[in-house]
Structure 1
């Protein structure tokens, strides 16, 4: 986390040919290997610690007071590596001291190279530093938070981030886990999978943001294997450097432990936050995170997540964030002014601006088999899909042929296919829509309906025992200037259930409603034309 804070700060020197940037890793961290790998991936130049202490530097920038920083000769800027000072790490430094304000580390750095500037984000942080180390507080200034600047500058990219994540019209629920024994991922390891089973796939998307220290301890491969049920159900696991912040901007709601990432979310927007933090020894009473967690709903069971989100009181998150951040919109300029003053240089003439956050990636795993729950109501057919095996069985199993495990295909009540990309083969062979549906019903005797998705939100559907094939077309919705489209596979489940119900349809076109959450999509069902039957897929 300290490295990523430094990477948020270093652009204050961008465009200046006089500046050379070097990285060194202070010994003692069990997360050092991953930090060096991250620097190497960025193309940064590193200096071994054994050599770093033998050189003179014009400026040293650090985001943690831990380690013998006094060996680095040159004026030093010390930054917090999170949103304020909210946690105490048991067994580390002085008992009950906030991480980042521990006098055992702050006073160690006085020696030959005292900290020239404590660059803090809020006056309250200066007061807390003064209570810990009055000498250090005399060199403290409130310059704002450079990471928050990137959040605020990137707010207008929300739609772009959601498009990259494949969120669409769903609600994106982000889970945030800090590191250590009181973190979400340690205290509630099964929560992501339980939420994936609880929340309908067509209404919610999940993302889990894991602190880089925790990812380093487990390793990316082991972490992904532990989370496999939730990831297979479509949950996102963003990169810990910048993508976590892009996902928070894209999110509609947040589930958090006591990690300070939640404060950035609350500072940038006023959307629901719920807590899963249990009482422990790490959270500092009266800190901004403590105020936040005391003011938001507590989540007990995964089954109560929707009620917990609805219980959030608007404004409570932003009130806590105001305790952590001041000088909003000024951090880059203020910090550059202070840094160049210590360098004894005039800053470049060009304006320094926060770097926009990149679009997140890669794309999530997309489930291809769903247990579909059906409820026939006076308003229409209500559809709720959950990835197969994640929750209780539904009315039928809907499976995308060619994308799902064959065992799912052989158990499907509704089997559907999406068009394949155009072939570059010198002699091509391709199914027609009508031909494939006949083939599917023959090859899978347990299947009741087979369908092909066609362009323009249309589908061709064949039901076992019915003489005719059907064309199914879903109409998009207009919502406050936006057009919302439904995945045609969802409407196929609604039509499949309607055609298998004991109430027969008339001979002509039929209009019905497919209900997904609070949305109703109008669907037209009619006999398919010969042209639709012969459509090449």
Structure 2
């Protein structure tokens, strides 16, 4: 059996369906790269990553196979000998690509599906009955081998929904809103039209309230290279944005997401099928989007994003319904696709499926961001009951009340400019060294070594924070309570954030508080964290950090 792909994205679709033959020793799985695509550069490396055996194109054309499976009808695919099966290449067939065949949807073009003299198509698997109707409208002959089976890639996402919390834990999202951007490929994509949007969002959205992620179409990665893509996205990546991997990981990130910003690419439909959560359009017209396609239907019914600074208002304007309706227009047999496809493929082969085969594999956990900000412009507002703060990565937004810098994780220039220096606890193994700082010893050292610093905070392994203020005789401990969520969960604040709040409150008073302990409210977004400020005990001041 030969799996034929023209590009990395086509190969990823094939990898999602290969498990339908799981456990069957009668099947030999081979791969080949169909030449002619501008985006084939990453396909072979993807095969190597899964340990597959690849045939050179000339050798592949010289053999005959019991089945040739592809997820795109383009290129010289008819030169491969054997019964051909075409799988869905994407969700909904929403785009028409200029210069490809006729003006039909890419992947449903009769000009590419009708083969005179080439290997015939034994089965054309599609995801929804409307796609068969669109084939028949173009040319009834192209619809004769089409059969509705659903979408195998969606199948994995639907089955993986119970892993949402573990995905968010892997991404280190915490109580933040995970806002994901999705960008298709081509001149009308989000990244081509609004290349500065990720950086602008990173500058606008407070770090303790939002986490950013970006899903980029594999074709765009192939066009640029991952290195070049990361260089172009460097400001947002430095601010902690997650760049989802092109195979499997992107779907895990969509399951973890709380909200989505999309162009006219089909990835948004998978997000909408998994759950009806807020989705906002960043598509501003063009010639590629097909009228009355599922994505067209979705985009005209959801809020439009204007300036990046208006993103919260756009997300609040979303009303449930459009996302679910668009997904239903794109995907039939949700939850059944892989079993249906397994039945059809074995029927083409004339074989009975193995009894113990399992076609469903859950999505893996995504990787966290490569980088996390370690220096913040902290905007602080004194309230009647405490402090409201918003931390943004330094350099991404205007300067705030003070600069908070993580000691040992940032360059000397920012460290010397810090109003608040904070230190996170070292790994347990590191604190067992022969020479280590006590929490108060480090705080006093930091204030001595950096005369411009007003406060030093040592975060203890327990989550407590020892805080020294220049000019105050004794150290304090900042103890933050968890916030009870309405759904029964609890949210924890970053101790560095509440240290900034107490730093701002103490400096606003201009002198040590008259009596301790003192209870304050630390407002971060919609949450209020109760903070107890008290004198540090001797064992807390001597705790190793």
Q: 2:89 aligns with which of 72, 76, 81?
A: 81
- In the superposition, relative to structure 1, how do residues 311 and 425 fare at CA in structure 2: closer, same or farther (>3 Å)? closer
1:356 paired with 2:362, answer yes
| Residue of structure 2 in register with 1:165 after alignment | 171
Q: 2:516 aligns with which of 491, 508, 532?
A: 508
* CA contact 1:116–1:139 (8 Å) conserved in 2: yes
1:478 paired with 2:475, answer no
> Which digits, 9 at most, give the CA deviation of each residue in 1:234-264, with x for residues without a partner?
0000110000000000000000000000001
Shift of residue 101 of structure 1?
Answer: 1.5
Partner of 2:479: helix, strand, or coil? strand
| Residue of structure 2 in register with 1:229 after alignment | 235
* CA contact 2:23–2:357 (8 Å) conserved in 1: no
Partner of 1:522: helix, strand, or coil? strand
| Residue of structure 2 in register with 1:499 after alignment | 506
> Which digits, 9 at most, give the CA deviation of each residue in 1:279-338, with x for residues without a partner?
111000110010010011110100000000011111111111111011111111111111
Matches within 5 A, 1:48-447: 48-94=56-102, 96-107=103-114, 109-350=115-356, 352-423=358-429, 428-447=434-453
Q: Structure 2: how far apart are the matches of 1:262 and 1:431? A: 49
- In the superposition, relative to structure 1, how do residues 283 and 525 fare at CA in structure 2: closer, same or farther (>3 Å)? same
* CA contact 1:118–1:136 (8 Å) conserved in 2: no
1:452 paired with 2:461, answer no
Shift of residue 423 of structure 1?
Answer: 5.0
* CA contact 1:333–1:352 (8 Å) conserved in 2: no
| Residue of structure 1 in register with 2:3 after alignment | none
* CA contact 2:20–2:357 (8 Å) conserved in 1: no
> Which digits, 9 at most, give the CA deviation of each residue in 1:476-524, with x for residues without a partner?
1222321211111011001000110136522220000101001011111
Q: Structure 1: how far apart are the matches of 2:265 and 2:256? A: 19
Shift of residue 380 of structure 1?
Answer: 2.5
> Which digits, 9 at most, give the CA deviation of each residue in 1:345-401, with x for residues without a partner?
111112534210000114441111000000112242101000011101100000110
* CA contact 2:172–2:368 (8 Å) conserved in 1: no
Partner of 1:500: helix, strand, or coil? helix
- In the superposition, relative to structure 1, how do residues 306 and 426 fare at CA in structure 2: closer, same or farther (>3 Å)? closer
Tell which deviates more after alignment, 66-75 or 441-450: 66-75
Q: 1:8 aligns with which of 1, 12, 16?
A: 16
Q: Structure 1: how far apart are the matches of 2:465 and 2:61? A: 69
Partner of 1:323: helix, strand, or coil? helix
Q: Structure 2: how far apart are the matches of 1:413 and 1:426? A: 30
| Residue of structure 1 in register with 2:6 after alignment | none
Shift of residue 68 of structure 1?
Answer: 2.1
Q: Structure 2: how far apart are the matches of 1:49 and 1:156? A: 41
* CA contact 1:24–1:52 (8 Å) conserved in 2: yes
Shift of residue 267 of structure 1?
Answer: 0.8
- In the superposition, relative to structure 1, how do residues 98 and 499 fare at CA in structure 2: closer, same or farther (>3 Å)? same
Partner of 1:23: helix, strand, or coil? strand
Q: Structure 1: how far apart are the matches of 2:479 and 2:431? A: 32
Q: Structure 1: how far apart are the matches of 2:350 and 2:118? A: 20
> Which digits, 9 at most, give the CA deviation of each residue in 1:181-202, with x for residues without a partner?
0011101100000000000000
| Residue of structure 2 in register with 1:47 after alignment | 55
Shift of residue 424 of structure 1?
Answer: 6.5
Q: Structure 1 unaligned runs (5+)?
A: none
1:461 paired with 2:467, answer yes
Q: Structure 2: how far apart are the matches of 1:111 and 1:118? A: 18
> Which digits, 9 at most, give the CA deviation of each residue in 1:422-456, with x for residues without a partner?
45799711111111111111110100011100132
TM-score (norm 1): 0.98
1:490 paired with 2:493, answer no
| Residue of structure 2 in register with 1:524 after alignment | 532
Tell which deviates more after alignment, 430-439 or 297-306: 430-439
Q: CA RMSD in A?
A: 1.4
* CA contact 1:209–1:237 (8 Å) conserved in 2: yes
Q: Structure 2 unaligned runs (5+)?
A: 1-8
Tell which deviates more after alignment, 27-36 or 121-130: 27-36
| Residue of structure 2 in register with 1:22 after alignment | 30
Q: Structure 2: how far apart are the matches of 1:429 and 1:81? A: 59
Q: Structure 2: how far apart are the matches of 1:14 and 1:165? A: 30
Kindly report structure 1 stretches of 4+ aligned residues shifted beyond 3 Å: 422-427
